[in-house]
């Protein structure tokens, strides 16, 4: 899949996020949309996964440590063919396998139940440790929120991944700068993110998290790095792709109503048409 | 004189044996491998031993990741830090996922001794038994500890195994049958039942002998598995003896006593007394001095039984 095709897929993923959150009536659009390009690059280019065999031996694994953005992972898995996209309309409803935060025992392709911040990253380290022990070719990816970096467990896990030289582990910080109570810098500053991980012994790559080429290049550079885990610090925009949601802390944990969903899907639909035209041009 | 061995010592001895039988067994520690005795495993299988440093939360988070990748994980630190500090990681990353992690926690209860109140946990059984799907084991001596640790490793799913620092009497024999999830009746009796767990079990037996001298015929049961609880043996004892004294080296809030009360109150309510830590913190001292001061001895069981009669 070329860059333009991946960009189109990312828009499909964004549409799916809006549809499922609108149907749910609650959830976290801002941080789901900011991670959409990264998660699309992972499922459609970087990762070795098989929708027909979600537990395939030697597969790559993605853990959404920022579990509240699980709808982005659900959407990417659906678009990738792990399950029909219509199922996502049950998101957050009684009896649905699509819980408000992901449950690994319900949803094919979900590798870890997350939601309590910091824990997915720690478990990802354990999975990478197991992979190293077994000589498993699979790589482990973990998407972290920037606010999530305020959890002490993140730094315990960062320390141990470097200690055990887990070069099969790649973290991606979705640095959209916002958390529930406002800007990271006002709540509890997490800067300088890159320097912090560097000082913990990580290979750090800084990119624009909405530039597909930069995302792919970063994953390639992570593969080439031996003896150290890699942290990709991705500069992103919360709510990316839906103009009225962009860079608004208020869209961290609020679902769009009927009108807002329609407006968002209209905007994304226009983008999709333009992307399709660009593909055939 | 009866031989005395700490249950943590038994853990250190059985780990390399299990490591040989189970190639997928990995062991983790948080900078206490000499005290928890996981160092015995490290000596034999260094490539399957991970020291996580003084970071208990991350140890249990990583343990979840290892277990969900097919490993059987025994992860050890002091009971205080395993059950307390790492509680929410154990709840969400191990309990909620049903990961195959054995939380083998040592230095539980008052017999930690000289380290004092910051290290003496009386809350761990209470915390762990509230997690859905968590098996909670509290062996009373070295022989039963080894038998139960083997069964914990053989079963699928999360377990909390409570182990002690102090050397305690070895009273089970190798040929004794110890089955996870099933209480063990050690003495028959008709007047009342002493239900004990962990290192209070030999005290329960001593108390029953003392009571016999005074004409009280006490039944004694070892509940080494607090969850799932052997309700059958407890209800039978309630129905046949009409009174129960529980004994545990743990808070009377949320531990064995309340688990037994929860069972009998539903189907066969009987009078009960609970011997254990009475909602106070501990302090520094020798284990036996502390057990006497905080009322967790055979004499305290005798007194509770008499008050009940």
Sort out which chain A residues have CB atoms less than 8 A from B69's CB and list them.
Answer: 126-127, 130-131, 134, 136
B176 assigned to some structural domain: no
Q: What is the pTM of this model?
A: 0.97
Measured from the Cβ of residue B187, the count of other Cβ atoms closer than 10 Å reads 16
Predicted local distance difference test score (pLDDT) of residue B309: 76
**A111 → chain B, closest CA residue:** B68
Scan residues 60-119 of B and list those with Cβ closer than 8 Å to A: 61-71, 88-89, 92-93, 96-98
pLDDT digits (tens, 9 = 90+) for A209-218: 999 999 999 9
Co-location of B56 and B139 in the same domain: yes
Compute the distance between CA of residue A205 and CA of residue A221 in angstroms, rounded to an integer.
Answer: 8
Co-location of B133 and B231 in the same domain: no
B238 assigned to some structural domain: yes
Co-location of B197 and B300 in the same domain: yes
Predicted local distance difference test score (pLDDT) of residue B294: 98
Co-location of B144 and B234 in the same domain: no
B175 assigned to some structural domain: no
Predicted local distance difference test score (pLDDT) of residue A25: 96
Predicted local distance difference test score (pLDDT) of residue A261: 97
> Which token pair is B122?
């009386």
**B91 → chain A, closest CA residue:** A116
Co-location of B11 and B145 in the same domain: yes
B260 assigned to some structural domain: yes
B281 assigned to some structural domain: yes
Predicted local distance difference test score (pLDDT) of residue B45: 98
Please report which residue ranges of B124-200 form alpha helices under DSSP H.
124-129, 142-154
Instruction: Answer whether residue B1 shows pLDDT above 70.
Output: no
Co-location of B26 and B151 in the same domain: yes
Chain mean position to CA B211: 25
Looking at the partner chain, which of B57, B65, B88 has a beta carbon nearest the beta carbon of A130?
B65
> Which token pair is B308?
């009940």
Instruction: Answer whether residue B107 shows pLDDT above 90.
Output: yes
Looking at the partner chain, which of B55, B71, B92 has a beta carbon nearest the beta carbon of A156?
B55
When computed from its CA atoms, the radius of gyration of chain B, rounded to whole angstroms, is 18
> Which token pair is B259?
């688990």
Sort out which chain A residues have CB atoms less than 8 A from B64's CB and list them.
Answer: 112, 119, 122-123, 126
Phi first, then psi: give them for residue A196, nearest 5 degrees. -60, -50
Q: State which H helix or E strand residue B49 sits in.
A: strand B49-51
CB-CB under 8 Å, A103 with B58: no
CB-CB under 8 Å, A112 with B97: yes
Looking at the partner chain, which of B47, B55, B66 has a beta carbon nearest the beta carbon of A130?
B66
Compute the distance between CA of residue A156 and CA of residue A225 in angstroms, rounded to an integer.
Answer: 22
B208 assigned to some structural domain: yes
pLDDT digits (tens, 9 = 90+) for A214-265: 999 999 999 999 999 999 999 999 999 999 999 998 999 999 999 999 999 9
CB-CB under 8 Å, B48 with A113: no
Are B260 and B195 in contact by the 8 Å Cβ rule? The answer is yes
The mean pLDDT of chain B is 97
Alpha-carbon distance B93 to nearest alpha carbon in chain A (angstroms): 7
Co-location of B158 and B33 in the same domain: yes
By the CB < 8 Å criterion, does B52 face chain A? yes
Co-location of B234 and B101 in the same domain: no
For an interface test with B, give the residue of A126, A136, A163 to mutate (most B CBs within 10 A).
A126
Looking at the partner chain, which of A126, A156, A164 has a beta carbon nearest the beta carbon of B57?
A156
Are B199 and B111 in contact by the 8 Å Cβ rule? The answer is yes
> Which token pair is B163?
């182990």
Sort out which chain A residues have CB atoms less than 8 A from B85's CB and list them.
Answer: none
Q: What is the pLDDT along chain A (281 residues), one digit of tens a residue?
A: 999 999 999 999 999 999 999 999 999 999 999 999 999 999 999 999 999 999 999 999 999 999 999 999 999 999 999 999 999 999 999 999 999 999 999 999 999 999 999 999 999 999 999 999 999 999 999 999 999 999 999 999 999 999 999 999 999 999 999 999 999 999 999 999 999 999 999 999 999 999 999 999 999 999 999 999 999 999 999 999 999 999 998 999 999 999 999 999 999 999 999 999 999 87
Co-location of B273 and B138 in the same domain: no
| CATH code of B19's domain | 3.40.50.970
By the CB < 8 Å criterion, does B175 face chain A? no
Alpha-carbon distance A269 to nearest alpha carbon in chain B (angstroms): 38
Co-location of B108 and B190 in the same domain: no
Question: What residue segments make up the domains of chain A, in order of their start?
Answer: 3-280
Locate tokens 């305690």: which residue? B168
Looking at the partner chain, which of A105, A118, A130 has a beta carbon nearest the beta carbon of B71?
A130
The mean pLDDT value for B39-56 works out to: 98
DSSP string, B201-250: HHHHHHHHHHHHHTT--EEEEE--EEES--HHHHHHHHHHHSEEEEEEEE
Alpha-carbon distance A19 to nearest alpha carbon in chain B (angstroms): 28
By the CB < 8 Å criterion, does B209 face chain A? no
Catalytic residue among B3, B13, B47, B56: B56
First to last CA, chain A: 16
Co-location of B24 and B165 in the same domain: yes
Q: How many CB pairs under 8 A join A and B?
A: 100
CB-CB under 8 Å, B97 with A104: yes
Q: How many domains does chain B have?
A: 2
Predicted local distance difference test score (pLDDT) of residue B175: 97
Co-location of B86 and B159 in the same domain: yes
Sort out which chain B residues have CB atoms less than 8 A from A158's CB and list them.
Answer: none
For domain A3-280, give its CATH number from 3.40.1280.30, 3.40.190.10, 1.20.970.10, 3.40.50.970. Answer: 3.40.50.970
> Which token pair is B216?
């009280």
Question: Domain ends where: B169, B192, B215?
Answer: B169
Angle between helices A119-134 and B56-67 (to 10 degrees): 50
Predicted local distance difference test score (pLDDT) of residue B2: 82
Are A255 and A20 in contact by the 8 Å Cβ rule? The answer is no
CB-CB under 8 Å, A163 with B48: no
B174 assigned to some structural domain: no
Compute the distance between CA of residue A112 and CA of residue A238 in angstroms, rounded to an integer.
Answer: 24
For an interface test with B, give the residue of A54, A67, A123 to mutate (most B CBs within 10 A).
A123
DSSP string, A245-265: TTT-GGGSS----HHHHHHHH
Q: State which H helix or E strand residue B76 sits in.
A: strand B72-78
Q: What was the ipTM of the complex prediction?
A: 0.96
**A60 → chain B, closest CA residue:** B69
DSSP string, A50-89: -TT-TT-TT--EEEESSGGGHHHHHHHHHHHTSS-GGGGG
Assess whether B56 carries a catalytic annotation: yes
pLDDT digits (tens, 9 = 90+) for B117-161: 999 999 999 999 999 999 999 999 999 999 999 999 999 999 999
Compute the distance between CA of residue B177 and CA of residue B174 in angstroms, rounded to an integer.
Answer: 8
Looking at the partner chain, which of A103, A126, A152 has a beta carbon nearest the beta carbon of B64?
A126
Domain span including residue B215? 184-308
| CATH code of B190's domain | 3.40.50.920
């Amino acid at each position: 899949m070329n860059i333009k095709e991946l960009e189109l897929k990312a828009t499909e993923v964004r549409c799916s996020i809006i549809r499922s959150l609108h149907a749910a009536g609650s959830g976290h659009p801002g941080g789901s949309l900011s991670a959409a390009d990264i998660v699309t690059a992972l499922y459609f280019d970087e990762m070795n996964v098989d929708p027909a065999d979600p537990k395939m031996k030697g597969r790559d694994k993605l853990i959404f440590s920022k579990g509240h953005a699980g709808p982005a992972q659900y959407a990417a898995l659906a678009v990738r063919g792990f399950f029909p996209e219509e199922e996502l309309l049950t998101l957050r409803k009684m009896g649905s396998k699509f819980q408000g935060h992901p449950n690994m025992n319900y949803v094919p392709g979900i590798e870890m139940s997350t939601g309590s911040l910091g824990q997915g990253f720690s478990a990802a380290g354990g999975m990478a440790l197991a992979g190293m022990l077994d000589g498993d070719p699979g790589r482990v990816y973990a998407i972290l929120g920037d606010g999530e970096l305020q959890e002490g467990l993140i730094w315990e896990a960062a320390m141990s991944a470097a200690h055990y030289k887990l070069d099969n582990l790649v973290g991606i910080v979705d640095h959209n700068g916002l958390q529930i109570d406002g800007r990271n810098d006002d709540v509890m500053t997490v800067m300088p993110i890159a320097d912090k991980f560097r000082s913990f012994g990580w290979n750090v790559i800084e990119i624009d998290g909405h530039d597909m080429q930069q995302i792919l290049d970063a994953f390639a550079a992570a593969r080439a790095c031996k003896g150290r885990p890699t942290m990709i610090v991705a500069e992103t925009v919360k709510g990316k792709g839906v103009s009225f949601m962009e860079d608004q802390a208020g869209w961290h944990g609020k679902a769009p109503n009927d009108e807002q969903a329609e407006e968002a899907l209209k905007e994304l639909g226009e983008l999709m048409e333009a992307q399709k035209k660009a593909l055939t041009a | 004189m009866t031989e005395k061995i700490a249950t943590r010592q038994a853990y250190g001895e059985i780990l390399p044996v299990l490591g040989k039988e189970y190639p997928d067994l990995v062991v983790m520690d948080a900078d206490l491998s000499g005290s928890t005795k996981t160092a015995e495993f490290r000596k034999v299988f260094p490539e399957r031993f991970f020291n996580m440093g003084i970071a208990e939360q991350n140890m249990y988070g990583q343990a979840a990741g290892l277990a969900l990748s097919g490993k059987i994980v025994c992860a050890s630190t002091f009971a205080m830090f395993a059950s307390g500090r790492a509680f929410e990681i154990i709840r969400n990353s191990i309990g909620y996922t049903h990961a195959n992690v054995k939380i083998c926690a040592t230095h539980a209860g008052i017999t930690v001794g000289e380290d004092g109140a910051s290290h003496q946990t009386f809350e761990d059984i209470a915390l762990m038994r509230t997690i859905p799907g968590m098996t909670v084991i509290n062996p009373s001596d070295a022989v039963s500890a080894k038998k139960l640790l083997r069964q914990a490793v053989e079963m699928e799913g999360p377990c909390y195994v409570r182990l002690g620092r102090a050397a305690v009497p070895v009273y089970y024999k190798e040929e004794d049958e110890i089955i996870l999830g099933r209480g063990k009746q050690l003495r028959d009796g008709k007047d009342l039942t002493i239900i004990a767990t962990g290192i209070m079990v030999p005290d329960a037996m001593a108390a029953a002998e003392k009571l016999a001298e005074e004409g009280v015929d006490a039944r004694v049961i070892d509940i080494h598995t607090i969850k799932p609880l052997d309700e059958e043996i407890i209800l039978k004892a309630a129905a046949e003896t009409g009174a129960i004294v529980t004994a545990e080296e743990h808070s009377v809030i949320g531990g064995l006593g309340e688990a037994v009360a929860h069972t009998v109150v539903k189907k066969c309510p009987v009078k009960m007394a609970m011997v254990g830590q009475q909602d106070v913190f501990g302090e520094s001292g020798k284990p036996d001095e502390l057990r006497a001061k905080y009322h967790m001895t055979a004499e305290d069981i005798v007194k509770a039984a008499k008050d009940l009669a």
